[in-house]
Chain A
Amino acid sequence: MGTNLTIGKAINAGLRASMEHDPKVLVMGEDVGKLGGVFRVTDGLYKDFGADRVIDTPLAESGIVGTAIGMAMRGYRPVVEIQFDGFFFPAANQTFTQLAKMRRRSAGKLSMPVVMRIPYGGGIGAVEHHSESPEAYFTHTAGLRVVTVANPEDAYWMIQQAVRSDDPVIFLEPKRRYYEKAEVDTAAPIEEATPMGAARVARHGTDVTLLAYGPMVKTALQAAEADTDHSIEVVDLRSLSPVDYPTIVESVKRTGRLVVAHEAPLSGGPGGEIAARVTEECFYHLESPVIRVAAFDTPYPQSRLEEHYLPDLDRVLDGVDRAFAY
């Protein structure tokens, strides 16, 4: 028995379920109350849970994350919304020096069950600072879990898993995919959902593994569909930190090739780290070097150029071709 939901609505339903399940769960951020967030992801929560649990905060990201840390110390489980990727940076200090390190510093006496929801990535024709892919900043920081979703099913369950986690979770929402729709079995028990740390084979294939996450999963699936010369296996990474290497390695050992695609800039991006690790673990199975398809090492460009900046279907297919050129 399924409900047809978009990714945005699925996160909304997941937040609602989390708030019903645990009275300590709070939602806070800019415009999350009456407006329901600029993407309407918190729509209706203010009306049903009230101003004490859905907090319209002052316009201050450092304040939002810093007070969420304090609330977590007091036993609450805050889910903060950062309005857009580029506005996370004012909260960088609180996130990196405090949120990520609190458990370790307190020798395990303090947990930080804080979720930071961030709409991220490009492709919506926005002005600057509204389209960035800052995931590498997070994955470079020990103490944070970093996850992202690519379909409504994951959106619904993973937000609930993130809220239940005692670790701080950076929950990246692919904004250009908010309106993707699918059936979600909202009645299933949460224990049966795929754990949020696990990668998932989204499409089986035999010739090459195409690894993607968040907004690029759809593009990867389209590439697999379009390429009639090769049998492409698509793996949806889901968790960027920690990375589920066993699932990736198993796939690469079968296909012998790996292409990693992401919207984040190439250098220092998640693709490089994955390429290095897979090379270590699959050296004798690889028929070609690991290929990365990514955005360029430039600032996110003005929107009239973003179609060239973001890896699209053609660039992903070009990456696949490069893997077969060896």
Chain B
Amino acid sequence: MSDTTAHEEPELIQLLTPEGELAGHPDYPLDISAEEIRALYRDLVLVRRVDSEAVSLQRQGELGLWASLLGQEAAQIGSGRALGERDMAFPSYREHGVAWCRGIAPKELLGMFRGVTNGGWDPHEHGFHLYTIVIGSQALHATGYAMGVQRDGAVGEDGTAVISYFGDGATSQGDTNEAFNFAAVNNAPVVFFCQNNQWAISESTERQSRVPIYRRAAGFGFPGVRVDGNDVLACLAVTRAALDNAREGNGPTLVEAFTYRMGAHTTNDDPSRYRASAELDEWKAKDPILRVRRYLENNGLADEAFFASVDTEAEAIGEQVRSECRGLVDPEPLDIFHEVYAEPNVQIDRQRSEFAEYLASFEGAGAEGGR
């Protein structure tokens, strides 16, 4: 039997302790100003606010569903802020913090969870692909995109790197493992960013993997590293190094951000059925926002006025999220037929006109629904 199991905690790359002290790491030196750290703090607070507002909107029936990122803010902001303008991200469905870093307005995300769109933003404009619901699919897309980057000769110091996000559960999928292999044999400029939030709905990481996830990479022939996923500085430094490595032509890296999903899997889920509350308490002590705040406070790098201004901004964003969500208009029935094909399609055209005629038959019929 193997000497390590998935739940064992091997060394984590950590730059900032839960107590808010800079730890530093010889392999991942981070040259960062106080101003940049304050900016990260602001990101963390604001995405948490967007997220909590969305959870309440779902409770009020304004959203069909929401997948909360609570607890995973540092993994997402750290890695998201490591991305360069030309880089391309391939998210799953919980990457609201990365979306934030890529300039996707919260209302775009809300539209999808409200059922008004299926995503709809321009992936190329933002360097951020559409959310992917079918687990693991996007790891292959990222790898293929990275193979395209190679063929374009866009590798080198100013090159493009690609990042794919997925959870610990996704590492069980064939697609994810095939992506690892394609990336390795092609030396593709892609970073696999696994947010191990300990749970795949009700199944713990041990139901997905017998070894720590970052170690899987070795079997495919590329490096894997485990980072403290609640440490925004470590996530930034490690992802930046992995992206630079990829962009310079040295191939893929698997980054396992060791973190915790503090809320339910989605607003449909009831975690009390499968996990103990003590676990949650343990992770609360490692809160990704609190430690940055402690660091800034302890070192006199931010005053009360700064924290108050971020809170004010969070209030405003919360308000904006609420009003924008309620303002999202439903699509027209005939939108069902739009954008199915690039070329004209007689079959769709016929169904659209038949349906238009059918809808028109109710007009003037008075009572809703006709009969």
Contacts and interface: CB of A to CB of B under 8 A. Distances in A.
Q: Do A and B come from one complex?
A: yes
Interface of A: 30-31, 33-36, 38, 56-60, 62-63, 86-87, 89-90, 125-130, 226, 266-267, 296-299, 301-306, 308-309, 313-315, 317-318
Given A58-B172, A59-B172, A59-B208, A296 B203 contact: no
Contacts of A304: 114-116, 330-331
Interface string B254-293: 0000000000000011000110000000000000000000
B172 A35 contact: no
B134 A129 contact: yes
Contacts of B269: 38
A127 B174 contact: no
A301 B333 CA distance: 10
A302 B114 CA distance: 9
B37 interface: no
Contacts of B326: none
Given A36-B273, A309-B336, A302 B201 contact: no
A127 B65 contact: yes
Contacts of A128: 118, 133
A317 B174 contact: no
Interface in B175-227: 175, 200-203, 207-209
Contact of A314 (B169, B170, B173, B369): B369
B312 interface: no
Contacts of B135: 59, 87
Contact of B175 (A33, A90, A125, A313): A90
Contacts of B116: 302, 304
A182 B133 CA distance: 35
Contact of A126 (B64, B117, B201): B64
B351 interface: yes
Q: Which of B113, B174, B340 has the most chain A CB within a 10 Å cutoff? A: B174
Contact of B335 (A33, A63, A86, A301): A301
Q: Top 7 nearest A-B pairs by Cβ distance?
A: A303-B115, A35-B202, A58-B172, A59-B169, A308-B333, A304-B115, A125-B64
20 contacts: A31-B203, A34-B274, A36-B273, A58-B169, A58-B209, A59-B170, A59-B200, A87-B134, A125-B64, A127-B65, A127-B133, A129-B133, A266-B351, A296-B351, A297-B351, A298-B351, A303-B115, A304-B114, A314-B371, A315-B358
Contacts of B136: 90
Interface of B: 64-65, 93, 112-118, 133-136, 169-170, 172-175, 200-203, 207-209, 268-269, 273-274, 330-331, 333, 335-337, 340, 347-348, 351, 355, 358, 362, 369-371
A55 B150 CA distance: 42
Contacts of A56: 202-203, 207
Interface of A is mostly: loop
A305 B202 CA distance: 31
A111 B175 CA distance: 29
A30 B203 contact: yes
Contact of B174 (A38, A63, A299): A63
Given A56-B202, A304-B114, A38 B351 contact: no
Q: Which of A36, A58, A306 has the most chain B CB within a 10 Å cutoff? A: A58
Q: Which of B64, B200, B355 has the most chain A CB within a 10 Å cutoff? A: B64
Contacts of A86: 133-134
B115 A125 contact: yes
Contact of B64 (A87, A127, A299): A127
Contacts of B117: 302
Given A127-B64, A317-B371, 15 more contacts: A31-B201, A33-B203, A38-B201, A60-B174, A90-B173, A128-B133, A130-B133, A267-B347, A298-B337, A298-B348, A299-B340, A303-B115, A305-B333, A306-B115, A314-B369
A127 B94 CA distance: 13
A91 B137 CA distance: 13
Contacts of B112: 127, 302
Contacts of A314: 362, 369-371
Nearest to A83: B201
A63 B187 CA distance: 27
A197 B358 CA distance: 36
A33 B202 contact: yes
Given A125-B64, A301-B336, A60 B173 contact: yes
A125 to B, nearest CB: 4
Contact of A303 (B64, B200, B202, B274): B64
Contacts of A60: 172-174
A126 B114 CA distance: 9
Contacts of A313: 369
Nearest to A89: B134
